[in-house]
Amino acid sequence: MRSLLVHQLPGSGYVFKARLFGVDVLFHWTFPLVGVLSGLIVRNLVSRPGDGLALDVFLACALSSFTLVALHEFGHAAVHKLVGSEVHGIIFSGKGGWCVGAAPSSRRALAFVLAGGWIGQLVAFLVAVVLVQYRGMPVSSCGKGVFVIFTGFNAFMFLMSAFPHGTSDGAQLAALWSLNFRYGHGPTATFTILPTAADKAD
């Protein structure tokens, strides 16, 4: 029997625990890698010769990437709560994020939960586009970097998590349609939801 609902979560290496919006959140020591990598790449894309080291641009991009990954995971968590299944917690690591929760009561609810990460990303994308529509393209390198993260990097993250590989959101949605999938059976009452596309960052 295929069991795509069990993921390999990092067993140790957590450095920080917090409670955000009523959800326990664990940070793995590799977590900053997501922001560092995307921050460096986008800073190099948008900074101008006069920007020097452009540390501010780097930080703006890194923080925006963290925010985007968080929006994806909290999107899963929000839909979990909407369909009435418990959220056990959210994990952030250099491989991206996991939202761990109890199995929803129906396949339709599970599909909705799996798509929840993309809803969070879509909200960020629309806010960025609407802001630019009303206020024009940002002129500062920081503003440009933030815009690139919430649109371009956002689209990249979406493609990576939609592509059915490993235990990605796309793979789990595909499994939901497959005949072999026996949802709700077996010893695992909980499952985890992968990933953010940032899991391709390493």
* Interface region with Zn ion, contact rule CB under 5 A, candidates 13-21, 49-57, 85-93, 164-172: 164-172
199 binds Zn ion (CB under 5 A): no
CA 2/CA 195 separation, integer angstroms: 19
Amino acid identity for residue 63 in this structure: L
The count of chain residues that interact with Zn ion, using the rule CB under 5 A, is: 2
- Where does this chain touch Zn ion (CB under 5 A) — which range of 19-27, 31-39, 113-121, 175-183? 113-121
DSSP 187: S
Longest dimension (CA), the chain: 60
- Take residue 13 and report the two structure tokens written for it: 């290496």
Q: Which of 23, 101, 169, 172 lies at the binding interface for Zn ion (CB under 5 A)?
A: 169
According to the binding rule CB under 5 A, does residue 120 interact with Zn ion? Answer: no
Distance CA 135, CA 19 (A): 35
Q: Does 117 bind Zn ion (CB under 5 A)?
A: yes
* Shorter beta-carbon distance to Zn ion: residue 57 or 68: 68
* Binding range to Zn ion, per CB under 5 A, among 17-25, 82-90, 117-125, 176-184: 117-125
Q: Which of 200, 154, 158, 149 is nearest to 43 (CA)?
A: 149
Residues binding Zn ion (CB under 5 A): 117, 169
